[in-house]
Amino acid sequence: MPEGDTVFRAARRLADVLEGRELARFDLRVPRVANVDLTGGTVREVVPRGKHLLHRIDGWTLHTHLKMEGEWHVYDRGGRWRKPGHKARAVLGTLTHDTVGFDLADIAVVPTDQEDTLVGHLGPDPLSPAWDAGEAARRLSVDTRSIHVALLDQRNVAGFGNEYANEILFVRGVLPTTPAPGVDTPALLDLGARMIRANRDRAGRTFTGDTRPGRSTWVYRREGRACRRCGTLIEGGQMGADPTSERITFWCPRCQT
């Protein structure tokens, strides 16, 4: 599932082949921006912002969001794509490489000095050099909803998705339903930041330190199985800010109180 660490790695792969290079191809395959053509522009940088990707090309920014299924692939120029062409939403190419975005969402092109119209609402990002842990903790602490819902709200902190929310809360021993103001938010975010930074450079995400299949999570998608710490059966449910944004939740009724 694309979360902040996934987007960070995608940005790094794209930057390796695009930064400082002139675009020989720029093809957006969504109606709203299909006529935008930045061919001939130079890619200044590719940067992540929470779950968002920003290609800065001359004075313009291509903004994309991976949502649940989005991916960016990198190929040698003319190489065969690993996914069908009808799923491609963006194709940016240089003389040596093609980068293809499949199943992308929220594609937009704006002047770079107007990026805040797209990502200015986001909270601090633990993978950003400008990470402000104090501000993120403040935003969480004044959110009166459950901590699980508050942690997923990208306006509070950018980059944590549902897998991270479940795993962070387990390790801190906090029930997902606990109101956010009653949680030690600085400690919670310190743990979350360390988790996502550790996974940033891994090929496979892990929260337990074990990368073997089926061993990487404490509670996520382990409903009805024994807690790795105490043996109690993991419970599961759903929670969200509203019925349309509910996410699956998992917790240990003994370790999380």
Mean pLDDT score across all residues of the chain: 95
Does residue 244 surpass a pLDDT of 70? no
**Would you say 207 and 216 are in contact if contact means Cβ atoms under 8 Å apart?**
yes
pLDDT digits (tens, 9 = 90+) for 11-57: 999 999 999 999 999 999 999 999 999 999 999 999 999 999 999 99
HEC letters along 41-89: CEEEEEEEECCEEEEEECCEEEEEECCCCCEEEEEECCCCCCCCHHHEE
Inform me whether the pLDDT recorded for 169 exceeds 90: yes
Give the residue from 194, 167, 149 showing the smallest Cα distance to 1.
Answer: 167
50-70 confidence digits (pLDDT tens): 999 999 999 999 999 998 889
The span from the CA of 49 to the CA of 64, in Å, is: 10
Query: Residue type for 135, please?
Result: E
Q: Return phi, psi of residue 130, to 5°.
A: -95, 20
Cβ-Cβ contacts under 8 Å for 171 (sequence gap 6 or more): 191, 195, 207, 218
Residue 113 exposure: Cα atoms within 13 Å on the Cβ side: 1
pLDDT-derived band of residue 238, with 50, 70 and 90 as boundaries?
Answer: very high
**Residues with catalytic function:** 2-3, 51, 247
Share of the chain above pLDDT 70, in %: 99
| Global confidence as pTM | 0.92
Residue entry with tokens 């890619």: 43
pLDDT confidence of residue 242? 77
